[in-house]
Amino acid sequence: CEINSCVSDRKDRRRKTNRERETNSPSDSSTRSSNLKSHHNKKNLSTLTTNNRRRKASYSSEILDTLGEGTFGKVVKVKDLHRSVDRVIALKIIKNVEKYREAAKLEINVLKKLADKDPKGRFLCVRMLDWFDYHGHMCIAFEMLGLSVFDFLKDNNYNPYPMDQVRHIAYQLCHAVKFLHENNLTHTDLKPENILFVNADYDVAFDNRRKKGVRRVKNSEVRLIDFGSATFDWEHHSTIVSTRHYRAPEVILELGWSQPCDVWSVGCIMFELYLGITLFQTHDNREHLAMMERIIGPIPSRMARKSKTKYFYHGKLDWDERSSAGRYVRDNCHPLMRYMKNEDEDTKQLFDLIGRMLEYDALQRINLNEALKHPFFDKIPPHQRLKAPSDIEKNCLSPTRERSHSLSR
């Protein structure tokens, strides 16, 4: 069918671009899968020992493997030798470069504040176990988690997740990000790479339609990671945030942004979990806006008028549909509802929720408190339902008390 052909074409395009994840985040501090290179052939079995007098803490670990590398540094799998019982953790080691050190300090402070508000991890944000300075390298120790939902998808040949897992992952993501929003934070870099399974063990089942084995993760519990770009309401807001494919229109049009830009990203992620393809597969602002218009509808003229960007002419998107990019958008992008693989109630509810998250006007976009009450989540089974402790809900971060991210050591 037409949609299956479109999915195939867009998977090919993604492979050709090697899943490039453009981001203009100023910190560039987080573990971004676009920059990660797996190293499974050679293990680094060195040890790392530090005695941080200023924090009155010592740390000793054995590096078992490199999990990933990026411009910021690397993430390694280590055995914590400081405890009587060995435990394996993930250690993020930041390059001894001032801008990366400062960005790491920002992330540490966000993680500390989140841990203060949620010491038991009920809101599904990754737990920072410790941090220290090792000869100028900022190091952050995290609980060990599994693959990201993107890496699992990639390893599964981009076969999408089953509906019950789409629902569960989306439910947890909304729950985690709602917690951030209630604490005056915007994540700004939500994407499948930053959602990690607690345990990515899987079963393989034969798919009669595809005539091949398809992986299904056994446990769809996830955690949200990468708070290096998280921004408090009272802090400076960079003009451009978010990884390209999940970037909200108000960010592209430089109209200012706040928590609703995260909701847009969640909608894009839910689409990707369901279909296995990126909704907006592009690396160009004008093409990105053209895709939005093709999939969602015309960009409101009031947004075009307010925007200081050069993408509009007389209130309409300046876009040549006869160009090669124009033909690609016309042939491969369709109105949102045409991506539904069937018309059962679950799918209709999923796409209704995605549509509400992809509302152009940030003020009209559904918030995550409303999203969690959407009928799509009614089928979450009792054992997967999450309850927000009232003492945490009522104890949000105070903008008068927390004015900066500077570390107090």
> Does 189 qualify as catalytic in the annotation?
yes
Q: Residue 76 corresponds to which tokens in the numbers above? A: 């390694």
Which positions make up the binding site for ATP? 92
Q: Which residues of 324-363 are buried (b: 16+ CB within 10 A; e: fewer)?
A: ebeebbeebbeebeebeeeeeeebebbbebbebbbbbebe
DSSP string covering 190-253, please? Answer: --GGGEEES---EEEEEETTTTEEEEEES---EEE---TT-EETTS---SS-SBGGG--HHHHT
Three-state SS for 75?
Answer: strand
Structure tokens given for 77:
């799998």
> Which tokens go with 215?
């992986």
Dist. CA 121–CA 209, nearest whole Å: 40
Structure token pair of residue 207: 């798919």
- Residue recorded with tokens 């339902």: 385
Tell me which amino acid residue 307 is. Answer: S
The C-alpha R_g of the chain, in whole angstroms, comes to 22
- In sequence order, the 6+-apart residues with CB closer than 8 A to the CB of 227 are 30, 107, 110, 111, 114, 125, 187
Beta carbons of 126 and 223 less than 8 angstroms apart? yes
Of 189, 207, 262, 344, which residue is the catalytic one? 189
Active site residues: 189
